């Protein structure tokens, strides 16, 4: 697209080297030591040291509405990043709940890819005319998909502070897992990097930390994936002179061989790759490494958004004590992570181990093809920072009530959150009140 200047080379302004973590698993210090030193004054603010002009451009791109002329569709969930990431500020959590489905085949998960699964896009662009007299139709994903027996919703996660999380060393996350008691020990997911950008190189295996299932390790990969699967915008990028096509294949309704009503219809109003960055740059000649401009802008915005600000803790520290006593800190660790970003030291507390845990019946039952039922129950520990801005809790937004969300961690009695849920149920009303006040300050 040409509506934005290419800021791919400026994404490096958000580069940083992580230097470690402070704090420990299960810290029982009842003092209010959990405030972040790098939090924003307002939700959605930029990190200190971020180029203000570049951040504003990137934020505008994050909020830009895609149209059919841009390549929207043929099927999609929303028309802009900010349409989903919007609660409290651009980049916040969302109200939007995307839909997933699948089934079990011979006891393992089957995402029914032949029907378009496991993600069902909610909308289609409908009728479109790529040339005079050519009448085309995008179609929409069937609801329910043929053969589906498992259905789940996933609410949009916030992306503010994502650049800080991106820089937590893999070794730190793995060390947290190793220190956890066996009964609640989390599992680190690994992802292969798609787009060379910032500290990441295509082909690297890194600990994933973004998304409800911990799918991506870098915000750039996260952005490219969302641009394709949530908005239907296909892109190419460049890696050391090679064309990267990982996000260049359109999703067709129900994974049909063609969307044509009459022969000759393209997938959407913009035939071929919607934004063929590689072709625009002589197929990456001269050893070019660069990310498609919109994806680079999305990444810059996320990478340079500050951690969400804290509210006042009206429990006067008692809620943190209760948080630890009930064992919430086993997964929602109170660790203070410290990284260097934009040339500055940044300390922050997201209240997550960024590992996946078996949540019993609270797990959404969705996985990758061939995953065991136990694996499909695993969910990434949701970071609790910014909780006081959110009104849709748990992965499927089933409640806005914090006590109800905690109780759901029982997971049918067989999940790794069940002990904490039981401790909350057994707590006195005063203890529960203190915990909820503390959570409302995050």
pLDDT, one tens digit per residue, over 15-45 is: 443 445 544 344 433 333 333 356 667 999 9
Element of type H or E holding 421: helix 418-426
pLDDT of residue 146: 94
Burial of 147 (0-12, 13-18, 19+ CB in 10 A): middle
DSSP 277-343: HHHHTGGGTTT--B--HHHHHHHHHHHTBPBPPP---TTTTHHHHHHHHTTGGGTS---EEEEEETT
pLDDT number for residue 13: 38
In this prediction, residues 184-204 reach a mean pLDDT of 97
Closest to 304 (Cα-Cα) out of 92, 208, 161, 158? 161
Alpha carbon distance 32, 17 (integer Å): 28
Query: Which residues fall within 8 angstroms of residue 36, CB to CB, at 6 or more apart?
Result: 307, 310, 336, 347, 348, 349, 385
Q: Does residue 437 register a pLDDT over 60?
A: yes
pLDDT at 37: 56
Q: H or E element: which one contains 137?
A: strand 134-137
Question: Please, which residues have CB within 8 angstroms of residue 183's CB and are 6 or more apart in sequence?
Answer: 416, 419
Nearest to 60 by CA among 306, 222, 301: 301
Per residue in 322-374, pLDDT tens?
A: 999 999 999 999 999 999 999 999 999 999 999 999 999 999 999 999 999 99
pLDDT band at 258 (very low <50, low <70, confident <90, very high): confident
- Quote the strand ranges of 234-274, DSSP E: 235-239, 242-244
Q: Kindly list the distances between the CA atom of residue 239 and the CA atoms of 108, 138, 262, 274, 291, in Å, as whole numbers in the listed order.
A: 36, 32, 38, 19, 8
Tokens linked to 247 = 């996000």
Say if residue 3's pLDDT is above 50.
Answer: no
Closest Cα partner for 97 from 378, 395, 359, 429?
A: 395
Phi, psi of 89 (to 5 degrees): 180, 165
Determine which helix (DSSP H) or strand (DSSP E) holds 222, and give its type and residue range: helix 219-229
Q: How high is the mean pLDDT of the chain?
A: 91
Smallest Cα–Cα separation from 10: which of 61, 63, 53, 60?
A: 53
Residues 77-135 have pLDDT tens digits of: 999 999 999 999 999 999 999 999 999 999 999 999 999 999 999 999 999 999 898 99
Q: Residue 11 has what pLDDT?
A: 36
Give pLDDT tens digits for 209-245: 999 999 999 999 999 999 999 999 999 999 999 999 9
Question: 275-276 and 235-239: which strand pairing?
Answer: parallel
Question: By the 8 A CB rule, do 314 and 170 touch?
Answer: no
In terms of Cα–Cα distance, which of 99, 112, 105, 118 is closest to 146?
A: 112
Q: Domain residue spans in the chain?
A: 8-439
Q: Is 212 helix (H, G, I), strand (E, B) or coil?
A: coil
């Amino acid at each position: 697209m040409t509506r934005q200047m290419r800021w791919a080379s400026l994404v490096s302004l958000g580069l940083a080297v992580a230097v470690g973590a402070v704090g420990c698993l299960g810290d029982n210090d009842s003092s209010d030591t959990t405030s972040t030193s790098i939090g924003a004054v307002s939700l959605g603010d930029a990190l200190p040291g971020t180029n203000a002009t570049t951040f504003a451009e990137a934020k505008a791109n994050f909020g830009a509405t895609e149209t059919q002329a841009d390549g929207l569709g043929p099927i999609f969930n929303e028309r802009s990043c900010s349409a989903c990431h919007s609660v409290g500020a651009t980049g916040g959590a969302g109200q939007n709940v995307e839909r997933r489905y699948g089934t079990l085949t011979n006891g393992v998960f089957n995402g029914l890819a032949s029907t378009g699964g496991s993600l069902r896009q909610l909308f289609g662009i409908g009728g479109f005319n790529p040339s005079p007299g050519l009448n085309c139709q995008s179609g929409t994903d069937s609801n329910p998909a043929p053969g589906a027996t498992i259905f789940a919703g996933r609410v949009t996660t916030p992306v503010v502070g994502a650049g800080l999380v991106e820089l937590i060393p893999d070794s730190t996350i793995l060390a947290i897992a190793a220190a956890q008691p066996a009964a609640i020990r989390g599992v680190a997911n690994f992802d292969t990097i798609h787009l060379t950008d910032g500290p990441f190189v295509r082909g690297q295996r890194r600990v994933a930390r973004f998304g409800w299932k911990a799918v991506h390790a870098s915000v750039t990969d996260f952005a490219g994936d969302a641009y394709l699967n949530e908005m239907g915008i296909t892109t190419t990028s460049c890696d050391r002179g090679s064309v990267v096509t990982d996000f260049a294949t359109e999703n067709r309704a129900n994974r049909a061989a063609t969307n044509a009503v009459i022969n000759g219809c393209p997938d959407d109003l913009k035939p071929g790759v919607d934004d063929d960055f590689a072709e625009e740059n002589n197929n990456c000649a001269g050893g070019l490494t660069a990310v498609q401009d919109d994806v680079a802008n999305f990444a810059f915005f996320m990478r340079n958004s500050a951690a969400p600000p804290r509210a006042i803790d009206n429990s006067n520290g008692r809620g943190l004590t209760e948080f630890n006593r009930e064992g919430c800190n086993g997964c929602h660790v109170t660790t203070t992570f410290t990284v260097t970003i934009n040339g500055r030291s940044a300390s922050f507390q997201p209240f997550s181990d960024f590992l996946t845990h078996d949540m019993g019946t609270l797990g959404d039952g969705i996985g990758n093809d061939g995953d065991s039922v136990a694996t499909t129950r695993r969910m990434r520990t949701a970071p609790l920072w910014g909780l006081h801005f959110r009104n849709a809790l748990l992965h499927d937004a089933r409640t806005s009530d914090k006590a109800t969300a905690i109780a759901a961690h029982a997971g049918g009695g067989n999940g790794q959150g069940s002990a904490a849920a039981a401790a909350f149920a057994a707590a006195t009303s005063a203890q529960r009140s203190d915990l909820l006040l503390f959570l409302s300050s995050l």
